[in-house]
A and B are shown apart, each in its own frame.
Chain A
Amino acid sequence: MSNKAMEQKQIHPSQNSTRVQKMHSLAVLWPTNWHYYTRMKVIGFLFTLPVLIFFLTFNVYPILSAFAISFTEFDLFSPMKWVGFENYSNLMTNRYFWAAIRVTLTFTLFFGPPAWAIGFAFASLIKDKIFGRSFFRSVFFIPTILSAVAMATAWSLLLRQNGPLNAILGLSIPWLTSQQSALWGIVLMSVWQGIGWFMVVFLAGLQSIPEAYYEAAKIDGAGRWQLLRHITLPLLRPVFAFIVIHTIIAGMKVFTPMFIMTGGGPNNATRSMAMLIYHEGLRDLRMGRASAISVVGFLLILILTVVQLRLFRVHEEVGT
């Protein structure tokens, strides 16, 4: 086939009016176009193929095998042994599992709302023009951008009983070494690191509210509190939904601060769900039990994903 003929095949008739005139007969038009469309479909698919292979191998397949492994007893070396629902029934009565759930929930509840509130406050403070506005925004965001590993390492020194935090506040709390306070030390660092992210998200939300709404309400005699209660908060509802999902996932993910600052201790007081999966699977080589916990986590993520996809659709309709 000549080069010229190849070129002609690729031409979409509707995109080239001069050539459309030549294609007067359907008999000539059809096969050429059929080839063109089929080829374009295959090419389009090929563009997405590398990514699809990645996702099948490293995301979809692992999820499926998590389900499979969760019904077995497997230590990586001896062959898998089918045990049915034993891993799951074991979880129900396993106090380490419930302890990890409790740690994860406590972390999420005491990390999320304070970080939202402070992030929201910071966003409100720098929303309007003020001297040094972008400087403050950077300062509040910097902890978020700095390495989680490095900050966890540094904070484990900051939170020492003889460390600077206690010295400045005049306290003597054994932040990371006592069972009662270890989780609070980690929560404190996480809030510090998390504020910037929430601030930026809230700031974008606040700036998307038209100033005219506030002007109109002020003319009607609304006070500061009423503006917040009746304009800002209702209009930020999608942002809140997004932030809640993000926070729940952050709770399920939390690993690095625990691993570095406390190693899950003392006495498992800071062992989160992610950390329990790591311990069960990769330290104690109980892959079956670890996978059962993963499956429980996956089901929760699945619910959140459905909610998130709904939100996405709303976003796209609104056009953001």
Chain B
Amino acid sequence: MTHLLSTYWRPGTIYTVIRFFLLVIFAIIMLFPIVWIVSGSLKPLEQVFAIPVKWIPDPIQWHNYPDAWTSENFTRNLINSIIVLVAQVTIQVLFSSLAGYGFAKHNFPGKEILFVIILSMSLLPLQIIMIPLFVIVKQLGWINTYQGLILPIAVSAFGVFFMRQFISSIPSEYIDAARVDGAHELAIFFRIVIPMSRPALVTLALLAALASWDEFLWPLIVISDQNLATMPLGISYLKSLYQAPAHWLLAVSMVMALPLLIIFLFAQQRIIESTAQTGIKG
């Protein structure tokens, strides 16, 4: 704030001060639900809905977290979520970059049409195709299996588009030089394209991880076996119980939200930039 006050009074200054105070007010409004959730997750149950709102829990009840965690099989849910996340991120990153390389640096008949078809899938939401997709997965015998949970939503059109754009920007000279030296195409892919695309791969992996962690609809459709349920299903199950304790619900919501918050704080710039460029998240 010092540099604000130390600048001499010019017509822009008053506007800057007003702007700053507006931002503070808006920030408080936007943060109010989060602060309430955090504080509620640490309160004794009878304080959660106390009026006036008690912002600082007294006493701070840390054991809400282990209590909520063991009330349902959340350890199992977490393991499942991690398995699905690792598998989906790997598939998304590997297959998108393979296809991205094919579309960016190769020529074959029908390439443009295939690319446009894939691109046109980028707006198609799961919500529209969930019924036939469920029927297909059922015919494959994949209901209540990991492959059913992982594969149908593993690859996104966005990933392919994103990798193609990035790989196009790699100078073809590197690739041609390797071809002249007799390098195998797969070797070129793994030794040149992949290392040179690292920033894009990290961004794509992050976005895929965020999406996978929070995916709710698809697991809801394919999984009815509690042993295969992911975190979002676990939370919605706890929520659906009659009179689920509010402080537990808030605690598991925090557990669900915290990894996303941590990833965001570490990779803000990357996430915000890719959101601005491509508008994937939301």
Contacts and interface: CB of A to CB of B under 8 A. Distances in A.
Interface of A: 6-7, 10-12, 15-16, 40-48, 50-52, 54-55, 57-63, 65-66, 69, 76, 122, 125-126, 130-132, 134, 136-151, 153-158, 160, 162-164, 167-168, 192, 194-195, 197, 200-201, 203-204, 242, 245-246, 249-250, 252-253, 255-256, 259-260, 273-274, 277-278, 281-282, 287, 290-291, 294, 297-298, 301, 304-305, 308-309, 312
A150 B3 contact: no
B282 A252 contact: no
Nearest to A263: B240
A301 B125 contact: yes
Interface of B: 1, 3-4, 16, 19-20, 22-23, 26-27, 30-34, 36-37, 40, 48-49, 51-53, 95-96, 98-99, 101-103, 105-109, 111, 114, 116-121, 123-125, 127-136, 138, 151-155, 157, 160, 176, 179-180, 182, 185, 189, 210, 213-214, 216-217, 220-221, 231-232, 235-236, 239, 246, 249-250, 252-254, 256-257, 260-261, 264-265, 268, 271-272, 275-277, 279, 281-282
Nearest to A168: B53
Given A58-B152, A167-B51, 10 more contacts: A45-B108, A47-B101, A140-B30, A143-B33, A149-B216, A274-B127, A282-B134, A301-B128, A308-B123, A309-B120
Given A139-B27, A144-B281, A156 B239 contact: yes
Contact of A147 (B160, B214, B221, B271): B214
A120 to B, nearest CB: 13
Contact of B272 (A141, A147, A245, A250): A141
A168 B53 CA distance: 8
A4 to B, nearest CB: 9
A296 to B, nearest CB: 9
Nearest to A202: B276
Contacts of B23: 125-126, 130, 132, 136
26 contacts: A15-B176, A44-B105, A45-B108, A47-B99, A47-B106, A55-B117, A58-B155, A60-B117, A61-B132, A66-B131, A66-B132, A122-B26, A131-B1, A138-B264, A141-B264, A143-B30, A143-B34, A144-B282, A145-B264, A147-B253, A157-B249, A158-B36, A162-B51, A192-B30, A197-B275, A298-B128
Given A145-B210, A157-B40, A246-B279, A130 B261 contact: no
Given A12-B176, A145-B260, A277-B127, A48 B19 contact: no
B131 A47 contact: no
B33 A54 contact: no
B131 A291 contact: yes
